[in-house]
Amino acid sequence: MSSAVPGRPDSRDNRTEEQQPRKRTKTESSPGLVQRVVAWVQAWCGFNQPVDSDSPNPSVNSTPRNIKSNSHENSGTEDQAVPNLLSRIIAPLQSALPTSPAVTITSRTGFTPVVTPEPWASTLRQRIVNAVTQRTTVIKPVTPALERLLAREARIDEAVSQLQQQTTRNNFPNLPLGAEEKILQALASHAVVEAFNIPIRGSDLQTLQDGRWLNDEIVNFYLNLLVQRSQTSPAYPTLHTFNTFFYSTLQEYGYAKVRRWSRKTDIFAKDLVLIPVHLPGHWTCVVVDMHSKRINYYDSMLGSNRKGFDVIRSYLAQEYTAKKGGEFDFTGWQDCAPKDIPQQRNGYDCGVFSCTFAEYASRREPFDFTQDHMPYIRRRMMYEIITKSLLTKIDQ
């Protein structure tokens, strides 16, 4: 007996399994409301080919109903009517689309409406652009330990470079073969050599033997050898030297007495000016560095001689006024009496120290000699004076 209610379909379904409609699972995608409405609008507007909701690229070239593509009469108004109508109907549906409205509508209808981007989309785009831009900037991490290691390595490289330079520049070259014979012959001779208007005799040369004080002729001749060498190559600083009587005359009689001593030379155009200073019982050396604006006073007994700086400054000021006019600008000039220089350990090597200070300064070479080198330097100076040529070169 059937329990079906009259006028109502039977709740029991007698159809076979093949005849029953297939139920959709949750994983299967069903056309949404928006897609169905878009399809309905397309059909209502006269498109012959319906939109397949599952097709990713529907035909966008369908010809609307009652619109002839070859008709010249309808090509103006009717072609514009469809897009305008679509825009009025589809625009309210844009906010309901799960993806970009413009992309969905364009793929379904072939019409691209004007869509204002959502705020969240603009923000996301800006964040992506910022992330890509910042990623191209390489930020070097701060590693104090690494920085200290690099600084230490740089100091080591500099020290090695200085050692290599010192090794390359041999400040204590061996005397040539036969040098000793020439020295012995010169010591026994009356007249040895003459240059720079300075005659050197055997008695003058004997002051370079151990335990003797140097005389004026030896000091003056040797300093002129330095000036002569500086003229052989532009690698040397330009030099001018005064003789051993300049400082004492300047100190005792003033500038007027020594004004003509530099009449043939512009001392301010030189790099270095050498001034031997003979104090009572002691030799020192002044080197005026025009390039570095320094008055260097080298004393192997580590004296200062404050009065000596005043004498030299007074001379520079008066010399500049007499030769160039105006006042000498002492801005930036320094008076230096360094204490970290080689020091003599006896009472008779001051002259050799003073000449050696001048020789190193004429090459801008750091002082690396000591008291132990004095016997060798005395012998080398003898040979250099005899041959009128210095053994130390700037390119060694």
State the catalytic residues: 282, 299, 350
Whole-number Å distance between alpha carbons of 351 and 299: 10
Sheet with strand 239-241: strands edge to edge: 239-241, 272-279, 282-289, 294-298, 334-336
Taking CA 147 as the corner, what is the angle to CA 141 and CA 148, rounded to the nearest 5 degrees? 150
Distance of CA 39 to the CA centre of its chain: 70
Q: Which residues contact 356 (CB under 8 A, 6 or more apart)?
A: 342, 369, 377
Task: At 250, give phi and psi (nearest 5°).
Answer: -65, -45
Taking CA 32 as the corner, what is the angle to CA 28 and CA 34, rounded to the nearest 5 degrees? 160
